[in-house]
Chain A
Amino acid sequence: MTKERRKLITSALRAAMLWPHTWTGVALGGLLMLIFFMGSLAVFASEIDRWMMPATRIGAVETGPVSLDRAAVPLVEAIAAGRAVRDWYVQLPNERRPVMAFRVRTDSGNAAGMATADGRLLAPVGTLGAGSFFYPLHYSLLLKAGFVGYWIVCFVSVAMLAGLISGVIIHARIFKDFFTFRSWGQIRRSLLDLHNLAGVLILPFHLMITFTGIVIILPIVLPAGVHALYDGDVQRFYDDALGNYSRPRSGISAPLAPLDPMVAEARRLWGGGEPAVVFVYNAGDAASVVRINRDTGDRISLDIQPVFFDGTSGALLNYRRPGPMVATHHVLSGLHFAAFEHWPLRWLYFLSGLAGCVLIGTGMLYWMEKRRVAHGRKPGIGWGSVAALACGSTTGLLIATLSMLAANRLLPAGVPSRELAEVGVFFLAWIGSAIQAAVRTRSDPPWSAHCAAVALLAGSCAVLNWITTGEHPLRAVALADWPVLGVDVALALTALAAWHVSRRLACRQTPDLSTLMKVTDHG
């Protein structure tokens, strides 16, 4: 430690940082855990989707480039099922999702569908999957109205940034204690060590992922500049920044021009690259607009380079490159999305995200163990609430997620609104495990019982995949179906680890208060 550093971080500053660090963690730890865990799952959303949608496990695309006019356009009417189509888009097949995914907005509600690359419509998948449930839960808590979810997630994220910075200040001996881990010592000590280890080792990732997460929706949650220069019209800002193009319906019907030449022209403008999403706005209207987004798998930046065409003539309407700062914004967003094709980095994102969960979880546990000393054997209602919250947001969240996966394999295809039934199972399991945690928390939350439930659920999910789809690990290896094999292996590892932890916890002696009292620490 240099002299300057010592001056900068005084003991008074460290003491002042302890309060916000502690209480943001205790108050917002549960939400942060949800956001970090679902974000970690979202890294592998495509792979979890293959597991949850067996009909889409159809191997790599071998039909060559998709002809939109032959394979995609005829399906839109079928998906709309007789209703008048307003707008639609199709996500084209890629390495991780071998099917086309359609969203169609009609006069009376939205419709979705999936089809093979050669244009064969698949039966409804009957699930939201990771891409439409775990992932939106990560960034909006599924509260779309008025961007309420965005606001909450961003507020919690700023608190996370403040928590990280204050954590570094509190733990100023950061380089000395870098790799200290004393697992054989007191539980409180090892919790603190694990907290510090997860916090210090992965600190750059945590700072990056939290900051860039807010950056993505910054114009929505900090619209000060938009108010200053765009009179508060966020849509106009986005149109200007991203080079968008839009116009109202004309009311005159007109057929859609061929899409394939537009895709070819977009490719030429990009100078290579693959199309990822094709949008048709004002479908069937003389004022229809076609938008083609570029796939960003070959770059960090989330610059989708949208190209806009006139839907009836096929003429180019708009293609504009962003300025340097907007391009920087795209790179920062891309760092968060990790949409690039890079498997080792994807695993690093996933594991670092889980390390974030460890950081948050051990922080809450450390608080509980420390408070236990202050409260004595009879914990108060505050302690009990935090304990139940910690349990419900860690093991309870795992139970809910695994219950949804199990329901995904168990619910018959004919159940009405099957995808909502799965979501119902998720929330019921979560609420149930949180209530159980609240009721059963005496000197400790029911960690052991929860871990046993996690182990049983994870194990049965892997077995259920085998029974209901016939795809056991050996067959997955033979088919080179790595996504499904990966999810199954992750489930099996989760089951083993959770069972081991559950046994260990069940055999653990309840710590004697007198020994707890004797322990000193530097926190």
Chain B
Amino acid sequence: MTTGGQPRQPVNGRTVPSRCHTAARVTAAVFGAYGFAWGLASFGAELGALAGMAPAEAVTTSSLLALLVLPVVALWAFAVPRVVVGWAVLGGGGVLLTVAARLAGVAAP
């Protein structure tokens, strides 16, 4: 949090991050976290369907769980020390889960 055109100074022992770094964190929190929630909801729905739940039940359950996770992982994107790790876990995890859901959907009878 800098002010106006003042030089960037350490605040509370933490160096103030660059604009690019901040943008990476914000996009990780917004898009990365949503992608992660998307992956969870879609994988959960497929898992539920495989486990024999009615489709509407599986979709509702997995979406509610994903919504619980969404704000927490969005904040975690700010808490994780390295933003690259945040992007890797959220974005990569989201893609992996979505692909896994696809595979489960193909495998399902």
Contact = CB atoms under 8 A, between A and B. Distances in A.
A325 interface: yes
A228 B101 contact: yes
Contacts of A20: 29, 74-75, 78
B58 A225 contact: yes
Contacts of A158: 70-71, 74
Contact of B78 (A16, A155, A241, A371): A16
A222 B60 contact: no
Kindly state the interface size class of chain A when it binds its partner.
35 or more
A1 B31 CA distance: 35
B63 A375 contact: no
- Residue of A16, A211, A241 most packed against chain B (CB within 10 A): A16
A211 B69 CA distance: 11
A46 interface: no
- Residue of B45, B63, B105 most packed against chain A (CB within 10 A): B63
Interface string A304-322: 0000000000000000001
Interface in B11-39: 12, 14, 29-30, 37-39
A230 to B, nearest CB: 7
A19 B20 CA distance: 15
Contacts of A241: 56, 59-60
A225 B59 contact: yes
Chain B contact surface mostly? helix
A228 B45 contact: yes
A224 B60 contact: no
Given A323-B54, A375-B4, A215 B67 contact: yes
Given A20-B78, A165-B72, A230 B59 contact: yes
A44 interface: no
Contact of B1 (A22, A169, A225, A326): A22
A341 interface: no
B18 to A, nearest CB: 13
A240 interface: yes
Interface of B: 1, 3-4, 12, 14, 29-30, 37-42, 44-46, 49, 53-64, 66-68, 70-72, 74-75, 78-79, 98, 101, 105
8 contacts: A16-B79, A17-B75, A165-B75, A224-B39, A224-B42, A226-B59, A328-B64, A375-B3
Interface of A: 13, 15-20, 22, 155, 158, 161-162, 165-166, 169, 211, 214-215, 218-219, 222, 224-230, 237, 240-241, 322-326, 328-329, 332, 371, 374-375, 380
